[in-house]
Chain A
């Protein structure tokens, strides 16, 4: 079945480029230039995945509103924020609104496609609950690579797709230092050092919400990070 992706982006050139790339991967793509048009379309027919820019035409945070409305329509619909803004605050706000991933526009089209594919894969995996999936266990941590779900001591930890891939990359080889480049590659993103740092910070905080004593991700200053058991 053909998956339908909605792209809400006010920059036509970018919109068309994304649409063309995703269409090439076999997705049905619909593009919208602003929140109003997009919402009208969504109210009659929900897409399988939405890629939303934060600032839409004259609405500086129109994407956030759209995300909130969309989440109200569907709890499971994967939402990806794609924005030129890379501030911490935007990322935090976006993810708190229930987005599955927060990407800056630096992301390359293949990476974007990989991400979209991964999100669809997760939805499929979730729909097949008994499927013996590829689970990595590291002490209290368990990572389900198929469903892209993480639990700590059995409690689910909600990670964005980027965060999930970072944790996955670290936990797969405990004790090994992963430098920032390696983590970026694993997460299919091109990020600067600061963003990696804030991703790590966010990941730690999410684990610490589950277990205040969480200390498994260690910073190796000047090199990168490693998972310690």
Chain B
């Protein structure tokens, strides 16, 4: 892995910052939410206590503790915000709830809803009865059969009064009461205080009734009767009184509640059945501000508290339900978070019981929009996110830059280290970056020191041959001159063998020393060489003739241009160069093999090549053959080799401004050593 990548990964770990921030924000949010829950719960509890102290203002009938029983005809009366038109339609009631079907034993379908305003009680009834039977003109209510709706009302004084609604023609009508006539037959008399509208529809009829609250006690029964047949649906009021109770908001409670609540909070008081007794305040839900929503949404999913599992707010115009309400009605205050069904807004709902006589008679439900909290969190998170992302981007960029810088420098150093020892064995001592004070600079200086040491060693090795040759000469001379003396003094015939062997040894020592000092001598003669113009072609002819004599076991061929090839240089050195190339070729050329000396003009150069049969040179060594002290011979022969022959070739080629190259023959059965010599 490159340094750049490594540092990039390190830099990317700063991404943990936004993550940690989000975790923190989430915890913060949870804490905030809990504290909000507690606060709201406390408020609800306070309210509940206050309200229980003035229970007569909360409950219309403090003593009525019977639970709500729709099956007995108990009826919830919706608060209406404005008096609706008496027109047979309930669209203007503003109640979302549909009318509830009345019980029937005959399959006659009727539905009822009730509402009230400050002064009136409204009843709305839908009856499915496509066959309209009109009220006869002179009606005998207890004999005649016609479509009618009977209403039994408990008056404020507790007495029961019965009315019925029927019409000969749909439209605005009045309630009628049955009165016993003088003839003993029941007649109808109108009650003008109770008005209604009879609307005939294709399925049946609607009846919208308006009666003043002053007439209404706490109970009411209503029943629809079919004119054409015996169908009936609803309840009949009779002694003993059962059901038919009216459950409705307590008058004045809304105003009372309004004094308790703060803006943005909605307070609802419910009775033990969960039915609403009073409502005050509105939720000022901040329906998602587009700015925050758009920029905040994409990462909200990473950090937000998952609200999708929160319970949905079950909204009903008449009731408040939910876990917190149930808990409160069981006697304990509670709070919970809800989702509104319509949007993804959040709602905090807290409920506290209104205790009367040690029993929960109702509850205060306080609701608050959770959006404020959400918005707060989003803003904080947006800032946090933007800042940390910026920081991360910056860190990544800086890390990348630093990494690039470092890797470029190391790359430069590596390239310099790679090329510090050139193919010709020369050592470059200066390294890049060495002036820097940091670790790379130190590394570079380390390299320089290393190279300097290496250079000293190389120099030492290079001169060692010459020095050895020189230093060993005196002791060698002592030995030889001693042998000379010994021989002149006269030795016995049987001792002569030792002498001869000693001389052979010395002769070998001498040739070793001579080979060791060869490069030094060539360097010496190069220093003093004089350049003359000479014919390289003629030189080759004469030299090759000599080699043919010297190495008669190999075929030496000469391949030169026909004309003179004038070269400016030192012919003696060229001959030495050729000597070394031929010696090398002979070493590797098998007996009876062929060595070809070839001269070519090539552009502005002469190409002098010595080509021999024999094993190919390992490719990896080709570049290094001309280095000083480089020796690749595997086997041992009688001549000492110090890796100087081809080095001498290079020295002489370079003296002539040329260079020496080694290659294998294309057929793989030999080597080609080429010396490029520039024309004059």
A interface residue numbers (CB < 8 A to B): 11, 13-14, 17-18, 20-21, 24, 84-85, 87-89, 104-106, 108-110, 192-194, 197-198, 219-223
Contacts and interface: CB of A to CB of B under 8 A. Distances in A.
A142 B484 CA distance: 35
A110 B484 CA distance: 8
Contact of B480 (A87, A108, A192): A108
Contact of B484 (A84, A88, A109): A109
B525 A221 contact: no
B195 to A, nearest CB: 146
A223 B545 contact: yes
B575 A106 contact: no
Contacts of A221: 539-540, 542-543, 546, 571, 575
Given A17-B484, A109-B488, A194-B521, A11 B478 contact: yes
B477 interface: yes
11 contacts: A14-B477, A85-B470, A105-B477, A192-B521, A194-B576, A219-B571, A221-B571, A221-B575, A222-B543, A222-B547, A223-B549
Contacts of A84: 470, 473-474, 477
B481 A21 contact: yes
A105 B489 CA distance: 21
A11 B542 contact: no
A18 B482 CA distance: 9
B477 to A, nearest CB: 4
Contacts of A105: 473-474, 477
Contacts of B521: 192, 194
Contact of B485 (A17, A89, A193, A223): A17
Contacts of B528: 88-89
B572 interface: yes
Given A192-B521, A198-B525, A223-B545, A14 B474 contact: yes
Interface string B466-498: 000010011001101110110011000000000
Contacts of B489: 24
A222 B558 CA distance: 14
A193 B510 CA distance: 14
Contacts of A104: 473
A87 B525 CA distance: 9
Given A108-B481, A222-B575, 17 more contacts: A14-B474, A14-B481, A24-B488, A87-B524, A88-B525, A104-B473, A105-B474, A105-B477, A108-B480, A192-B521, A198-B525, A220-B542, A221-B542, A221-B543, A222-B545, A222-B546, A223-B545
A18 B484 CA distance: 10
Given A87-B524, A106-B510, A222 B484 contact: no
B524 A11 contact: no
Secondary structure at chain B's binding surface: helix, strand, loop or mixed?
helix
Contacts of B544: 222
Contacts of A198: 525
A221 B571 CA distance: 8
A182 B429 CA distance: 48
A41 B243 CA distance: 163
B223 to A, nearest CB: 145
Interface of B: 470, 473-474, 477-478, 480-482, 484-485, 488-489, 510, 514, 521-522, 524-525, 528, 539-540, 542-547, 549, 571-572, 575-576, 578
A59 B545 CA distance: 47
Contacts of A197: 525, 572
A147 B89 CA distance: 162
A219 to B, nearest CB: 7
Nearest to A53: B474
Contacts of A192: 514, 521
Contacts of B474: 11, 14, 84, 105
A11 B525 CA distance: 28
B36 to A, nearest CB: 103
Nearest to B469: A86
A13 B528 CA distance: 34
B543 A194 contact: no
Nearest to B481: A17
Contacts of A223: 542, 545-546, 549
Contacts of B473: 84, 104-106
Contact of A21 (B478, B488, B524, B543): B488
Contacts of B524: 87-88
Contacts of A89: 528
A20 B481 CA distance: 10
A110 B480 CA distance: 11
A221 B538 CA distance: 9
Contact of A13 (B478, B510, B547): B478
Contacts of B482: 13, 17
A106 B571 contact: no
A109 B477 CA distance: 10
- Please give me the 10 A-B residue pairs with the lowest Cβ-Cβ distance, nearest first: A222-B546, A222-B543, A109-B484, A17-B481, A105-B477, A221-B543, A223-B546, A221-B542, A84-B473, A13-B478
Contacts of B488: 21, 24, 109-110
A108 B540 CA distance: 35
A110 B487 CA distance: 10
B470 A106 contact: no
Most buried by A among B473, B539, B540, B571: B473
Contacts of A14: 474, 477-478, 481
Nearest to A20: B485
Nearest to B578: A222
Nearest to A111: B484
A56 to B, nearest CB: 13
Nearest to B550: A222
Contact of A109 (B481, B522, B540, B571): B481
B558 to A, nearest CB: 11
A44 to B, nearest CB: 29
Contacts of B578: 222
Nearest to A18: B481
Contacts of B575: 221-222
A106 B477 contact: yes
Contacts of A87: 524
A87 B540 CA distance: 28
A7 B224 CA distance: 163
A166 to B, nearest CB: 16
A101 to B, nearest CB: 17
A87 B522 CA distance: 11
Contacts of B539: 221
Contacts of B576: 193-194
Nearest to B582: A222
A89 B528 CA distance: 9
Nearest to B528: A88
Nearest to A107: B477
Nearest to B539: A221
Nearest to B547: A222
A221 B528 CA distance: 19
A223 B541 CA distance: 11
A138 B470 CA distance: 40
A11 B528 CA distance: 30
Contacts of B514: 192
B485 A109 contact: yes
A142 to B, nearest CB: 28
